[in-house]
Structure 1
Amino acid sequence: MRALSALIVAAVTLSSTALAADYGGSVAYRGGAAHPYDSVPAERREVPWTGRVPACDDPAVLSRIRERFASTEARYWSSSLNITSFEHIRSLGYRPWGASYIPRRFCEARSRTSDGRKRTVYYSVREDLGLAGWGWSVEWCVSGLDRSYAYDGHCRAARP
């Protein structure tokens, strides 16, 4: 069943137009919008989103961050550092750029790491950006531990 679902997702993805691409710059279309999708909520598109993403304090979200952080530390930095707990979890925004974009929930939490320090974790939970566009995914950044500067040294790029 999962293979069939993946095949259907691949077929739809490969046969449909690039909905997110902006090849024409800022061109006015009928109705005054800069792009036909600027005024259409993501739930009403050809390939709609539901707008449902897990909450910031969802145990599955926090578990995924904890597991991937430990894996990244071990694999790339030869470190045994891991996240032991989360506290003061709060939402920073839901769909901060408007309804026509892929649904994202931005969050912030204080974490305690295995070295005893408290660090801020910024993360976003995103709909349909999981494996092959199926399910939700989470991107995260631990402030002060973004050693590759993928999100800027203080995780600025991980926030809305």
Structure 2
Amino acid sequence: MKRLLHSALAATMLVATAGAASARIVTPAEKRFFSYSGEVPPCGDPDVLSTITDRFAQTESEYWDSHLQIITYDRVRSIGIRPWGLDHIPRTFCMARAVLSDHSVHEVSYSIGENLGFSSFGDGVTWCVAGLDREYAYAPNCKDARP
């Protein structure tokens, strides 16, 4: 929460110090028509990690005909809270290290966005497992899954 307030203060100061020609009013996402609370689960939230684990297993099984599964996570950390400013959808970017069922270790980059779940219900979780992004959706090496 302290980082969120620090980010908000920094964004406000940036807008306040910008030149008059380039200044714009920043309306936090929480104040717009489709209101947000501004609260996103932390990176280590069990529901978030469970979502990644389940979707990874499903993708590996159904799409890649693989039996790989994520067994555990460690080194879970936040790498960005609302990095694009207060007027964007509240989102937290995270990274973790995952141990897979074949005992390999991979970095997982993921984001949690408020109201970005199915049909805008619940928090949406977008993820990428480094080295297993076979379609290069977040290439190179999951970089595009980070801020």
TM-score range for the pair, normalised by the shorter chain length: 0.7 to 0.9
Q: Secondary structure at the match of 1:40?
A: coil
Where does 1:42-53 land on structure 2 (aligned, <5 Å)? 42-53=29-40
Q: Secondary structure at the match of 1:70?
A: helix
Find the counterpart in structure 2 of residue 105 from structure 1.
92
Choose which of 124, 143, 157 in structure 1 pairs with 2:111: 124
CA deviations over 1:71-96 (Å, ceiling 9, x no partner): 00001100000100000100001100
Gaps of 5+ in 1: 1-29
CA distance in 2, matches of 1:31, 1:139: 33
Choose which of 55, 72, 94 in structure 2 pairs with 1:68: 55
The aligned length equals 127
Choose which of 29, 45, 55 in structure 2 pairs with 1:58: 45
Q: Which amino acid aligns with 1:57?
A: G
| Higher CA-based Rg | 1
CA distance in 2, matches of 1:141, 1:152: 10
Asked if 2 retains the 8 angstrom alpha-carbon contact of 1:147 and 1:153, the reply is no
Asked if 2 retains the 8 angstrom alpha-carbon contact of 1:122 and 1:142, the reply is yes
Find the counterpart in structure 1 of residue 125 from structure 2.
138
TM-score by length of 2: 0.83
Find the counterpart in structure 1 of residue 27 from structure 2.
40
CA distance in 2, matches of 1:40, 1:92: 24
CA distance in 2, matches of 1:130, 1:115: 30
Find the counterpart in structure 2 of residue 21 from structure 1.
none
CA distance in 2, matches of 1:44, 1:87: 36
| Deviation for aligned residue 1:153 | 3.6
Q: Secondary structure at the match of 1:68?
A: helix
Find the counterpart in structure 2 of residue 95 from structure 1.
82
| Deviation for aligned residue 1:31 | 9.2
TM-score by length of 1: 0.76
Q: Secondary structure at the match of 1:77?
A: coil
| Deviation for aligned residue 1:47 | 1.3
Q: What root-mean-square deviation, in Å, do the aligned CA atoms of Structure 1 and Structure 2 show?
A: 1.4
| Deviation for aligned residue 1:137 | 1.2
Gaps of 5+ in 2: 1-20
Runs of 4+ in 1 over 6 A off after TM superposition: none
